[in-house]
C-alpha cells in the first residue's frame, strides 16, 4: 500500500504554528523576554517576531537566526537546533507542516516477527512503550514507519513523530522535544509551560486523554527519552535507538539484527525486479552474504544496480569481494555504510574506540573478555564492561554468554580505523599472538604425561592458566581459531621456538580431537619453524605429526606417507630413534590405506623393534596395533587376532586418557579381525562391546565404523532388521563426520538390504 490515501495521519505541528515558531516562543519565555525586549536586543522587528512565533513566517534566514540566538544567549547546540528548524521551514516553502514525517517504502521486506510483537503490545493493556534498537543500518526507522502504516487503525487520534537526533552532535533535549510533541497534539503554543517539569505533566495529560501513536526516532539515551513516555493507558510510544535504553522502566525492547538469507534475497528482488535477478540465484546469494544481511547495505546494493541497468549482480559481487574496497563500494548517493558506522564510532570514548579497532586483529569469529583484555591492556572485568558497552552501542554482538563478535562490515570498518589511527599494529598483533600460544601451551600441558619435563616460557601479560583438564579442553576448543590464527603472525615475526613449543605441548591433546583442521596448520608451521632453526630432530617430529593429521584427519594417505618418509630420513640423520619409530608407524598406516599391506606389515614390524629400544609404552601399543591391522589386511587374520588379543589391558603409558582410548581402538580391531575370519556371531558380539573413547571428542566416525561393522556381521547372521537399523545410524554418523566415502558405502549396503528384503 503506497497510495496517498493509505498513509496514516502523521503530524508534528498543527496548522497555525511551526516548529521554529513554537521553539522561538519557548526560548523567549524561558529567557523572560517580551517581544519588544527581544526585538530591541536582536534588531528584528516586533512584527517579524510575531509572524515567526505564529507561523506566518516559517523559515527565517541564517543572519536572523544568528541575531536571535545572540539575543537569547543560546549556546552552540541550541543555536544549531534553532537553525535546523529554520532550514526545515524554508525547505517546505511555506507548506503547513511538519519538519519530520516517517516515510514508508513500497519494497519493505521481512520483520514480520517484530511487527507481530508490536501489534500484540499495542492491543495489550500493560506495556505502553517499545524500543526498537540495534546497530546502525538495520532499518529501525523504516520498520517504525511500516508499523505506523499497519497499526494506524488502532490509533484514531493519529500519529505524532519527532526526530530526536540522538546520533548527532547535538541531540534534541527532552524539554524541546516536549514543545514539538505538545504542539503536534494540538496544545496551544502560547499555553505551553516554560518549566520543563510542568511541560512534561501537560504532555502526559494530553496523551492520557486520547489514543495516539507517538514515534520518537533516533533516541540518544534514557534521560532524553524518559520524559517523553506515557504513564497511562491509551496512547503508545515507539522509540528507535541504537542503544537498548536499558534504564527505561516499563518498556518492551525489540532488538533488530540482520535479515535472514531469504529475506535479504527477496529485498534485492523487490528493489531490482525479477528480470534483473531471475536466473542468478548464486550471485544474489553472494551479494547478500557480502552485505552481511544488513538492510542498509542491501538497499545500497539494490540502488546501485538500479542506477546501472547494464550491470549484472555478478559484476557487483566482484567489487564487493575485495575487502579493502568493500566499504567504499557500499555507497549510493547519500547512503553509505561507512558513514552509518562512523556515527556510532564517533560517540565512543578513546579507550572504547581503541578496543573496537583492535578487535579486528583477532582471527576468530568471536572472543571472550580474557583475550580482549590483552588487546586493550585492561583487566578482564573492566574489558567485559567495555565489550557490553560496545554491544549497547550496536557495534558488537553478544553471540552467547560472554562471547562477542564483530559484524563483518564492522570488522572492515574497525580495520580501517586501526590502520588510519594506529598505523602499524604489529606490536599489538604479536603481543596477542604471543599470549595465545602461551595460553595454548599452558592448556596443552594438562594432557601430557605427568613426568613430562616442564618448559619455561615467560611473557606478559600472564597466559590463561586452566585449573583443570576440563577447563583446558574448553578453552582450547573455544579459542582454536584464535590460537591457530596466531601461528602465521608468530612465524612472520620469527618466533619459531614459541611455535615449536606450542606444537609439542599440544601433541597429545591433538589425539583427542583428531578431525580438527587446525592440526594441519599447527604442525605445518612446526615443520617450517624447525627447518628455520636448523633442528633436524624437531623437523622430523613435526613431519610425523603432519603425517598423522594428513592420514587421520584428511584421509590423504599418499601425502601422509611422503611426510612420514621425510621424517624417517631426518630422524635417521639426527640419530633420533623415537622419531624413526613413529615415522615407521605412520608409513605402515599409510601403506595399509593405500592397499599395500605387505609393505605396511614390514614398516610396522620395524616400528615395534624400534619402540622396544626406547621403552615408549604408548608407541609400542600403537605400533603393535598397526602391525596387527596390516597382518589382517595381508590375509593373516588369525595372527592379527592373536596380536590384538594380547594387547588387551597392555599398559599404554601415563598420558591422561590414552589408556582408555587405546583399549577402545584395540577392541575395535579385534571385532574387525573376527569379521575377516567370518566368525559372524562372535564379531557381532565384539562390535557390541566396542565403546567410543569418552576421553576423546569427535567420535562420530569411530562410532559409525563400529556400527557399520556390527551391521555387516548381523547381515551375515540373517538379522536383517537390526542390520538395517545399524547401517542407517552409521550412515547418519558418517555424514555428520564428513566422511562421504564411507557414507556412500553404507548407502550401498542399505540399498542391498532393501533389494534382499524386497
Task: Return the pLDDT at 690.
Answer: 84
Q: How confident is the model at residue 6 (pLDDT cuts 50, 70, 90)?
A: very low
Q: Of 648, 733, 736, whose CA–CA distance to 689 is shortest?
A: 648
- Written as nine digits, the cell of 127 is 506495556
Question: For residues 605 and 169, which has the higher predicted lDDT (pLDDT)?
Answer: 605
187-193, long-range: CB < 8 A, 24+ apart: 189/17, 189/21, 189/22, 189/25, 189/53, 190/25, 192/22, 192/25, 192/26
% pLDDT > 70, the chain: 92
pLDDT digits 0-9 by tens, 352-363: 999 999 999 999
Task: Return the pLDDT at 500.
Answer: 95
Please work out, in degrees rounded to the nearest 5, the angle formed at the alpha carbon of residue 387 by the alpha carbons of 381 and 390: 150
Residue 316 has pLDDT above 80, yes or no: yes
Q: 217 has which bridge partners?
A: 163
Once rounded to an integer, what is the mean pLDDT over residues 372-393? 93
Task: Return the pLDDT at 655.
Answer: 79
Question: For residues 444 and 754, which has the higher predicted lDDT (pLDDT)?
Answer: 444
> Which of 86-90, 492-496, 567-571 shows the lowest mean pLDDT across its residues?
86-90
Burial class (CB in 10 A: 0-12, 13-18, 19+), 319: middle
Distances from the Cα of 203 to the Cα of 80, 126, 603, angstroms: 25, 20, 89
Task: Return the pLDDT at 185.
Answer: 86
The 8-class DSSP code of residue 10 comes to E
Q: How confident is the model at residue 94 (pLDDT cuts 50, 70, 90)?
A: very low
Once rounded to an integer, what is the mean pLDDT over residues 637-650? 92
Once rounded to an integer, what is the mean pLDDT over residues 294-321? 93
Q: 213 has which bridge partners?
A: 159, 236
pLDDT digits 0-9 by tens, 511-540: 888 889 999 999 999 999 999 999 999 999
> Which of 97-111, 246-260, 381-395 shows the lowest mean pLDDT across its residues?
97-111
Residue pair 432/387 in contact (Cβ under 8 Å)? The answer is no
pLDDT digits 0-9 by tens, 224-234: 999 999 887 77
Task: Return the pLDDT at 515.
Answer: 83
Task: Return the pLDDT at 16.
Answer: 41
Task: Return the pLDDT at 19.
Answer: 67
Question: For residues 183 and 686, which has the higher predicted lDDT (pLDDT)?
Answer: 686
Task: Return the pLDDT at 96.
Answer: 35
When the pLDDT of each residue in the chain is averaged and rounded to a whole number, the result is 88
Once rounded to an integer, what is the mean pLDDT over residues 388-400? 92
Residue 194 has pLDDT above 80, yes or no: no
Amino acid at each position: 500500500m503506497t497510495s496517498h490515501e493509505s498513509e496514516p495521519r502523521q503530524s508534528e505541528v498543527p496548522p497555525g504554528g511551526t516548529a521554529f515558531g513554537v521553539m522561538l516562543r519557548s526560548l523567549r519565555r524561558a529567557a523572560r523576554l517580551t517581544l519588544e525586549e527581544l526585538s530591541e536586543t536582536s534588531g528584528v522587528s516586533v512584527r517579524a517576531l510575531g509572524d515567526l512565533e505564529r507561523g506566518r513566517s516559517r523559515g527565517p534566514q541564517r543572519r536572523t537566526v544568528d541575531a536571535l540566538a545572540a539575543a537569547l544567549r543560546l549556546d552552540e547546540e541550541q543555536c544549531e537546533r534553532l537553525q535546523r528548524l529554520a532550514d526545515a521551514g524554508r525547505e517546505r516553502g511555506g507548506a503547513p507542516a511538519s519538519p519530520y514525517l516517517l516515510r514508508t517504502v513500497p519494497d519493505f521486506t521481512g520483520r514480520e516477527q517484530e511487527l507481530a510483537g508490536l501489534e500484540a503490545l499495542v492491543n495489550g493493556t500493560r506495556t505502553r512503550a517499545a524500543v526498537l534498537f540495534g546497530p546502525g543500518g538495520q532499518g529501525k526507522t523504516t520498520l517504525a514507519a511500516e508499523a505506523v502504516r499497519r497499526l494506524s487503525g488502532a490509533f484514531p487520534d493519529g500519529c505524532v513523530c519527532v526526530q530526536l537526533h540522538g546520533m548527532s552532535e547535538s541531540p534534541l533535549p527532552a524539554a524541546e522535544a516536549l514543545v514539538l510533541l505538545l504542539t503536534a497534539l494540538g496544545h496551544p503554543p502560547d499555553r505551553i509551560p516554560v518549566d520543563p517539569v510542568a511541560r512534561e505533566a501537560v504532555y502526559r495529560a494530553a496523551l492520557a486523554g486520547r489514543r495516539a501513536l507517538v514515534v520518537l526516532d533516533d533516541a540518544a539515551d534514557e534521560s532524553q527519552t524518559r520524559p517523553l513516555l506515557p504513564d497511562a493507558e491509551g496512547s503508545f510510544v515507539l522509540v528507535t535507538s541504537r542503544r537498548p535504553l536499558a534504564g527505561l522502566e516499563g518498556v518492551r525492547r525489540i532488538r533488530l539484527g540482520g535479515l535472514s538469507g531469504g529475506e535479504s534475497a527477496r529485498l534485492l528482488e523487490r528493489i531490482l525486479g525479477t528480470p534483473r535477478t531471475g536466473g542468478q540465484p548464486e550471485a544474489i546469494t553472494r551479494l547478500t552474504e557480502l552485505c552481511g544481511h544488513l538492510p542498509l547495505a542491501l538497499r545500497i546494493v539494490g540502488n546501485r544496480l538500479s542506477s546501472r541497468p547494464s550491470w549484472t549482480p555478478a559484476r557487483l559481487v566482484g567489487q564487493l569481494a575485495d575487502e579493502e574496497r568493500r566499504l567504499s563500494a557500499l555507497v549510493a548517493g547519500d547512503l553509505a555504510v561507512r558513514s552509518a558506522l562512523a556515527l556510532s564510532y564517533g560517540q565512543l570514548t578513546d579507550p572504547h574506540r581503541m578496543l573496537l579497532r583492535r578487535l579486528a586483529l583477532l582471527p576468530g569469529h568471536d572472543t571472550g573478555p580474557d583475550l580482549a583484555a590483552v588487546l586493550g591492556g585492561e583487566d578482564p572485568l573492566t574489558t567485559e564492561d567495555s565489550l557490553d558497552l560496545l554491544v549497547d552501542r550496536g557495534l558488537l554482538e553478544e553471540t552467547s554468554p560472554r562471547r562477542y563478535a564483530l559484524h563483518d562490515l564492522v570488522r572492515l570498518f574497525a580495520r580501517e580505523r586501526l590502520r588510519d589511527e594506529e598505523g602499524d599494529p604489529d606490536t599489538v598483533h604479536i603481543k596477542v599472538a604471543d599470549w595465545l600460544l602461551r595460553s595454548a601451551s599452558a592448556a596443552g600441558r594438562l594432557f601430557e604425561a605427568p613426568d613430562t619435563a616442564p618448559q619455561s616460557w615467560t611473557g606478559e601479560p600472564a597466559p590463561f592458566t586452566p585449573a583443570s583438564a576440563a577447563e583446558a579442553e574448553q578453552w582450547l576448543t573455544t579459542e582454536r581459531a584464535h590460537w591457530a590464527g596466531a601461528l602465521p603472525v608468530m612465524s612472520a615475526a620469527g618466533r619459531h621456538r614459541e611455535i615449536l613449543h606450542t606444537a609439542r605441548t599440544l601433541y597429545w591433546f591433538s589425539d583427542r580431537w583428531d578431525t580438527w583442521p587446525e592440526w594441519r596448520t599447527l604442525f605445518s608451521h612446526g615443520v617450517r619453524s624447525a627447518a628455520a632453526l636448523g633442528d633436524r630432530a624437531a623437523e622430523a617430529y613435526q613431519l610425523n605429526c603432519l603425517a598423522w593429521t594428513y592420514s587421520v584427519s584428511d584421509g590423504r594417505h599418499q601425502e601422509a606417507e611422503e611426510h612420514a618418509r621425510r621424517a624417517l630420513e631426518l630422524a635417521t640423520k639426527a640419530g633420533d630413534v623415537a622419531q624413526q619409530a613413529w615415522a615407521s608407524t605412520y608409513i605402515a598406516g599409510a601403506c595399509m590405506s593405500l592397499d599395500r599391506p605387505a609393505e605396511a606389515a614390514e614398516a610396522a614390524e620395524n616400528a615395534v623393534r624400534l619402540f622396544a629400544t626406547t621403552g615408549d609404552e604408548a608407541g609400542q601399543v600403537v605400533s603393535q596395533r598397526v602391525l596387527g591391522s596390516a597382518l589382517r589386511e595381508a590375509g593373516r587374520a588369525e595372527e592379527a587376532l592373536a596380536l590384538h588379543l594380547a594387547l588387551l589391558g597392555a599398559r599404554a603409558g601415563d598420558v591422561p586418557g590414552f589408556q582408555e582410548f587405546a583399549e577402545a581402538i584395540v577392541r575395535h580391531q579385534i571385532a574387525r579381525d573376527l569379521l575377516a575370519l567370518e566368525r559372524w556371531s562372535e564379531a557381532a558380539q565384539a562390535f557390541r562391546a566396542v565403546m567410543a573413547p569418552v576421553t576423546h571428542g569427535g567420535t562420530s566416525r569411530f562410532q559409525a565404523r563400529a556400527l557399520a561393522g556390527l551391521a555387516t556381521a548381523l547381515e551375515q547372521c540373517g538379522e536383517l532388521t537390526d542390520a538395517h537399523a545399524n547401517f542407517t545410524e552409521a550412515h547418519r554418523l558418517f555424514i555428520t563426520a564428513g566422511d562421504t566415502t564411507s557414507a556412500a558405502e553404507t548407502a550401498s549396503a542399505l540399498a542391498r538390504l532393501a533389494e534382499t528384503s524386497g
